[in-house]
């Protein structure tokens, strides 16, 4: 994970902490898919590596977009995948009891 962040964003990932492991079974382009996601929290040592408005980066020759989003997902129209990821953030980063829901407007660039 540290190497990927360095390669793709030119940033140093620090204070990494495993939040959990999620299994995702899905269908994409009509084909079944399966992934196991190891979910970590961390902080970028270079806070300006991803500006507040986001930026493009290239991975394996393909352009991608990265941007900050509120940890609680408030006001964001783009879904967060895989299923269960928001619950891990709520429980282990925002320290809410499971099922407590999200509070509006919490942004953290240092999580």
First-last CA distance in the chain: 15
Backbone torsions φ then ψ of 10, nearest 5 degrees: 65, 30
This model's pTM is above 0.85: no
pLDDT class for 105, splitting at 50, 70, 90?
very low
Contact of 102 with 72, CB cutoff 8 Å: yes
Note the pLDDT of residue 12: 96
Q: What is the Cα gyration radius of the chain?
A: 15
Tokens of 21: 């492991």
Backbone torsions φ then ψ of 34, nearest 5 degrees: -150, 135
What kind and span of H or E run contains 98?
none
Kindly report, residue by residue over 52-96, the tens digit of the pLDDT: 899 999 998 999 999 999 999 889 998 898 999 999 999 999 988
pLDDT class for 99, splitting at 50, 70, 90?
low
Alpha helices for the chain (secondary structure H): 2-9, 85-92
């Amino acid at each position: 994970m540290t190497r990927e962040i360095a390669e793709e964003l030119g940033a140093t990932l620090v204070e990494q902490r495993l939040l959990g492991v999620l299994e995702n079974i899905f269908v994409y382009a009509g084909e079944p898919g399966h992934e196991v996601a190891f979910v970590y929290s961390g902080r970028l040592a270079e806070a300006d590596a991803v500006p507040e408005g986001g930026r493009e980066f290239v991975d394996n020759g393909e352009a991608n977009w990265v941007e900050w989003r509120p940890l609680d997902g408030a006001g964001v129209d783009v879904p967060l995948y895989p299923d269960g990821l928001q619950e891990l953030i709520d429980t282990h980063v925002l320290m809410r009891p499971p099922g407590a829901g999200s509070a509006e407007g919490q942004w953290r660039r240092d999580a």
